[in-house]
C-alpha cells in the first residue's frame, strides 16, 4: 500500500474502518470480537477491540491495555494479577536487570530484579530530582529527614516487633528529654510509663536511683519506674 499526504490543511486517513450495528446503534458482538487482528500461523498475536483496547496473545488475549477514563490507561485482565517489567539491560531471558511493578498475593510490589550476568540495582524514590530513600540489598537508607505528618501520633515499630538496636551520632531527643521543671512541666512518671527518660532543670540534691525532687537548681536526667521519677 502507498499513499501521498501533501496538503498541510488536509486531514488524511490512511486506513479507516467504520463498524456499526447497521441501524445506527452501538456495535454488538462477542467479547473476543476485534476491529483489528493480526495472526501468525492462524494464532492471534495482536488485536484491537471496538473500544480501542489493545490485546496481545492467543484465545482472546492474555495481556491488555485499556482506557479506564480520560487521561487514564490501565493494564488489567479480569481477576488476573498484572505485572509490568521495566528493563535496565536485557541480553536474553536469562541475563537481564529490571524493576518489577506488580500485584502478587494481594500485595502491591515494586522490586528490583536481575538474572544471570545482571546485577540487582538500588531502588530510589525522590521528588523533583531529590533522592529521598533508596534500598540496597536488605537495607533502607535515608538521604533526608524522616518526618511524620502529625505530632505525637505515629510509632516506629509496633509492640512485639521492636527495632533491635539504635546506633546514632547525636542525641535522642523527645518531649521528655528537654530540660523542664519536674514539678511544673513534665508528665507524671506513671503517665510517661516505666522506662521513659526525661531531663529536669530543677533537681534538688539528686542521688542516683533515688526518687527525684524538684525545687532545686541542678539539671539532671531522670527515668520513670512506672510510679516515680528517679535520678539516673
Each of the 232 residues of the chain gets a pLDDT tens digit; together they read 888 999 999 998 888 888 887 776 777 777 778 889 999 999 999 999 888 899 999 877 899 999 999 999 999 999 999 999 999 999 999 999 999 999 999 999 999 999 999 999 998 888 876 777 777 667 787 777 888 899 878 888 887 887 887 777 765 656 555 556 766 667 788 887 888 888 888 888 899 999 998 888 888 888 889 999 999 8
Alpha-carbon distance of 188 to 15, in angstroms, equals 80
Do 99 and 59 lie in a common domain? no
User: Can you give the pLDDT at residue 155?
Assistant: 83
Q: Is residue 47 part of a domain?
A: yes
Q: Is residue 96 part of a domain?
A: yes
User: Can you give the pLDDT at residue 173?
Assistant: 59
User: Where in the sequence is the domain holding 223, given as residue range(s)?
Assistant: 175-231
What nine digits make up the cell of 140?
533502607
Best CA proximity match to 97, nearest among 108, 109, 110, 86: 86
Do 71 and 118 lie in a common domain? no
Q: Is residue 20 part of a domain?
A: no
Alpha-carbon distance of 96 to 56, in angstroms, equals 23
Do 65 and 114 lie in a common domain? no
Q: Is residue 31 part of a domain?
A: no
Phi then psi for 85, rounded to 5 degrees? -110, 125
Q: Which of 142, 164, 189 is the last residue of a domain?
A: 142
What nine digits make up the cell of 215?
525545687
30 CB contacts (<8 Å, ≥6 apart)? Answer: none
Do 103 and 133 lie in a common domain? yes
Q: Which of 18, 50, 75 is the last residue of a domain?
A: 75
Q: Is residue 226 part of a domain?
A: yes
User: Can you give the pLDDT at residue 177?
Assistant: 52
Q: Is residue 15 part of a domain?
A: no
Q: Is residue 67 part of a domain?
A: yes
User: Can you give the pLDDT at residue 85?
Assistant: 97
Q: Is residue 42 part of a domain?
A: yes
Total structural domains in the chain?
3
Amino acid at each position: 500500500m502507498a499513499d501521498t499526504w501533501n496538503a498541510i490543511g488536509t486531514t488524511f486517513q490512511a486506513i479507516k474502518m467504520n463498524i456499526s450495528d447497521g441501524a445506527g446503534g452501538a456495535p454488538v458482538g462477542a467479547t473476543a470480537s476485534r476491529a483489528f487482528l493480526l495472526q501468525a500461523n492462524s494464532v492471534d498475536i495482536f488485536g484491537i477491540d471496538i473500544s480501542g483496547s489493545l490485546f496481545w496473545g492467543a484465545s482472546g488475549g492474555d495481556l491488555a491495555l485499556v482506557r479506564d477514563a480520560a487521561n487514564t490507561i490501565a493494564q488489567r485482565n479480569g481477576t488476573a494479577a498484572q505485572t509490568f517489567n521495566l528493563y535496565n539491560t536485557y541480553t536474553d531471558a536469562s541475563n537481564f536487570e529490571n524493576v518489577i511493578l506488580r500485584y502478587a498475593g494481594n500485595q502491591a510490589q515494586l522490586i528490583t530484579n536481575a538474572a544471570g550476568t545482571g546485577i540487582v540495582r538500588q531502588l530510589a524514590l525522590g521528588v523533583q530530582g531529590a533522592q529521598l530513600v533508596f534500598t540496597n540489598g536488605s537495607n533502607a537508607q535515608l538521604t533526608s529527614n524522616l518526618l511524620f505528618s502529625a505530632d505525637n501520633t505515629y510509632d516506629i515499630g509496633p509492640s512485639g516487633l521492636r527495632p533491635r538496636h539504635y546506633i546514632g551520632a547525636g542525641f535522642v531527643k523527645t518531649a521528655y528529654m528537654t530540660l523542664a521543671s519536674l514539678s511544673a512541666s513534665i508528665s507524671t512518671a506513671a503517665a510517661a510509663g516505666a522506662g521513659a527518660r526525661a531531663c529536669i532543670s530543677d533537681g534538688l540534691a539528686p542521688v542516683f536511683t533515688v526518687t527525684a525532687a524538684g525545687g532545686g537548681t541542678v539539671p539532671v536526667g531522670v527515668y520513670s519506674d512506672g510510679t516515680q521519677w528517679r535520678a539516673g
